[in-house]
Amino acid sequence: MVAPRLVLVLGDQLSPDVAALREADKTRDVVLMAEVGSEASYVPHHPKKIAFLFAAMRKFAAALREGGWTVRYTRLDDPDNAGSIPGEILRAAEVTGAKEVLATEPGEFRLIAALEECPIPVHQLPDDRFLCSHAEFADWAEGRKELRMEWFYREMRRKTGLLMDGDAPEGGKWNYDHENRKPPPGSVEVAPMRFTPDDTVAEVLELVEARFGDNFGTLTPFWFATDTAQARRALSHFTKTALPHFGDYQDAMMKGERFLYHAIVSMYVNAGLLGWREVCDAAEAAYRAGDAPLNAVEGFIRQIIGWREYMRGIYFLEGPGYTERNVLRHDRPLPAFYWSADTDMLCLAEAIGQTRDEAYAHHIQRLMVTGNFALLAGVDPHEVHEWYLAVYADAYEWVEAPNVIGMSQFADGGIVGSKPYVSGGNYINKMSDYCKSCAYAVSQKTGEGACPFNALYWQFLDRHEERFSKNPRMAQMYRTWNRMDEEKRAATIASAEAFLAKLDAGERV
């Protein structure tokens, strides 16, 4: 009798056509899935993220069994749980007699390395659920002075045929981003689809509350989709109700409005419940039917086949040391209020507060509020990286690290972004209604009560002048800074340093 092989399926590989399952023999092999402590705690994950993945894993395992697979599934509270993926492989091999493992390549280098070091041979197959392979991205990047996402995105549009009119982009332009920067609307009439926990989810919620109840983040109410059927309903709901306005307001921020017109499907795509193609096809179909405008659909599709694929390409191109990069040599500890939302800066309190409650914040809140502040304040980028990896339900290192180390914190020296994404309070005031009711005055540049972003912005430029003054995208701001009289510049630096001193002292800011 031929020994079975183990077929490892990870928590973010919940797709029936994932490579390891395609390669396996249903009549012979044993699927291995496991909830393990090492994966649940390598950063202090948000309880909602843990609950989402455990519930989705349990449902996926049940679906595989119904499809005729033999599935060995270990729950977190199993007393014999080995606590790690390699440990569970060894335990399953001992029971089944398996001598080898089929796996789909993980999306984090630490887990790739763990599988490579496993005493039993693990054959890691390419994760071809993505549009662009590692080799294809490396070929695209070869010889380029700048790895700009826009050029990569156009190649992916051509490859997929999405929003194409023959060889030309639909509407004559590749990018409609200039139409997608409207300030917040007066009100928002839609909300993402919410699902009532079923018995599987309820059981997981009880487990997560017991084991991870002290982690940053509110577990209930829990409303995420936890299987593909639900995720498809959530996608359909978005395309019908929110996509028509997504483009106009995708950069806007509103007090008390946590979702605006965003899709809230990234966690489902990244876990494998939805595929990139079906998500993009749904958006394009809405455009072709006249139900959503081109600027909204193009902006949405760009996030999927542009940014998402580009981030994965950068992560695997740059290698395992990417998350340790820190070209600006920032070393301030992550402020305590990132774990509490306990700050008088309303934009940060809102973004962090909704992150605590929903395991979600949209891209501008991540980039231009929490990320912008951390960069201006000189926070250690690795600490920033680990915070983002911990607190968001859609965060996996392959997508999170390039967004944070590269785009948000400029710690990679400009591989992802051609300039740092920094701003004073005026940008936040333009794109949100936060400043109207903030304890700090956005119109005040220095001194007690002034918006901290204002002085911190100029201090950032001043301390990094040697690096950035010749950057063509920043030259105008340096000319403005250098035209200021000496007294004004000194007052700005003093105001920034006084604020940072309070921050370092642990005082409320």
Predicted structure pTM score = 0.96
- Kindly tell me if the per-residue pLDDT of 2 is higher than 90: no
Is the residue at 209 inside a domain?
Answer: no
The region that residue 329 occupies, defined by phi over 0 for left and psi between -120 and 50 for alpha, beta otherwise, is left
**Do both 289 and 387 map to the same domain?**
no
Q: How far is CA 83 from the centre of its chain?
A: 26
Chosen domain end from 107, 125, 143:
125
| Residue 120 and residue 254 in one domain | no
3-state secondary structure 405-450: HHHHCCCCCCCCCCCCCCCCHHHHHHHECHHHHCCCECCCCCCCCE
pLDDT tens profile 329-369 = 999 999 999 999 999 999 999 999 999 999 999 999 999 99
Q: Which pLDDT does position 1 carry in this prediction?
A: 66
Query: What residue type is 408 in one-letter code?
Result: S
Tokens 């390598």 belong to residue: 42
- The verdict on 50 and 149 lying in the same domain is no
The predicted-structure confidence for 161-195, as pLDDT tens digits, reads as follows 999 999 999 999 999 988 888 988 988 989 999 99
Residue 224 domain-assigned?
no
384: CATH: 1.10.579.10
Please check whether residue 228 lies inside any domain of the structure: no
Domain of residue 490 covers 336-504
Q: Are residues 161 and 143 in the same domain?
A: yes
Please give the C-alpha separations between residue 127 and each of 9, 273, 310, in angstroms, as whole numbers.
Answer: 12, 15, 15
353 and 476 both lie in a single domain? yes
Domain count, the chain: 3
- Same domain flag for 15 and 106: yes
Q: What band does 401 get if pLDDT is binned at 50, 70 and 90? A: very high
Cis peptide before 221 (omega within 30 of 0): yes
pLDDT the model gives residue 134: 97
- pLDDT tens digits, residue range 16-41? 999 999 999 999 999 999 999 999 99
Domain endpoint, select from 97, 125, 153: 125
Confirm whether 232 is domain-assigned. no
Are 171 and 281 members of one domain? yes
**467-472 mean pLDDT:** 92
Q: What is the domain-level CATH number for residue 59? A: 3.40.50.620
Last residue of some domain: 317, 348, 377?
Answer: 317
